[in-house]
Amino acid sequence: MPNRTLGRSGLRVSPVALGTMNFGSAAGVPICSPAVASRIVGEFLDAGHTLIDTADKYNGGEAEEIVGAAIRGRRESVLLATKAGHPTGAGPNDRGLSRAHLTRALEASLRRLGTDHVDLYQCHVPDPDTPIEETMATLDGFVRAGKVRYLGCSNFTAAQLVEAQWAAQRIGGAPLVSHQAQYSLVDRTIEAEILPVSGRHGLGTLTWSPLGAGVLAGRYRRDAPPPPDSRLGRVTASSARLGRYWALDLLAERKLRIADEVSRVAAELGAPAAAVAVAWLRDRTGVSSIVVGPRTPDQLGDYLAGMGLTLPPEAGTALDHVSRPGSAVRGA
């Protein structure tokens, strides 16, 4: 598929981005080994896609190290995005969007990634304790120093997006060109405010969790334990209490009904359920790129299949109907 312009900028990005949250180990438990992750990166780039998204938070920085090693020798063909803002240590300045933290965080990310610049540097989460002017001035300094090409954010509210753009304008600095937000058939919340505001203020949208944490891939069944290698299975294994909390959300009847419809369409088309969910999201207004997070090459293949899958109009209508915000589900 052709690349898309990211927000009100000249940067063109692939319509699918490789998310790397699963690269490495979490709490000492391997999720995706460096060897498998390197294969995934290679297959992603060989398929003609360019945008790789990571963060300093992912598995304590291990994901950035794995990405850096995987793209060595191919850096010029990669649009490299990373994020900062989550805690990276126990100190009072080891988190947030202050000048003190962001400056150290960027230098640490560049070392782990083995590069002298990132193409897209993003605020991972809002920071209510730091004036937005300080954050935007710091980010603008990174751009002026050549260490960052473009700026973005993640998980901001509509109001926070507007404040950030206004702050950039007031200081005469580089604005944000992208915003990351959760978006899928089971969570269409951003359609109400985030997408319209992003469009008006020049931000492209990078969507994460396109499979609703796996439920749209058909991995979870009613009254059946989650597969041990699934995200819910791993969470449950580490904490039964947290697993029950996740299950209440992931296995809500409305989400399972939507997953049933995805599976029905997938069966009719002879395609993976994941490909159907991605194909629906690909065509939504305002979406610049879909961040996918495979743990295996096979999962990557299912995601990429969705980029070339054409949904018949009646299938798209059925998916729109069953997933529309506020829709009632009989028996829920």
Residue positions annotated with a catalytic role? 58
What residues contact 273, with CB distance under 8 A and at least 6 apart? 216, 217, 218, 259, 262, 263, 266
DSSP labels, 63-109: HHHHHHHHTTT-GGG-EEEEEE-S--SSSTTSSSSSHHHHHHHHHHH
Q: CA–CA separation, 33 vs 246, rounded Å?
A: 25
Q: Quick one: which of 112, 94, 91 has its CA closest to 103?
A: 94
**184 DSSP β-pair partners:** 187
| Alpha carbon distances (Å) from 142 to 78, 103, 105, 178, 332 | 19, 8, 12, 16, 49
Handedness of CA 135, 123, 180, 190 (dihedral sign): negative
Neighbours of 260 (CB within 10 A): 14
Q: CA–CA separation, 154 vs 81, rounded Å?
A: 12
What residues contact 143, with CB distance under 8 A and at least 6 apart? 149, 150, 151, 173, 174
**182 DSSP β-pair partners:** 208
**204 DSSP β-pair partners:** 178
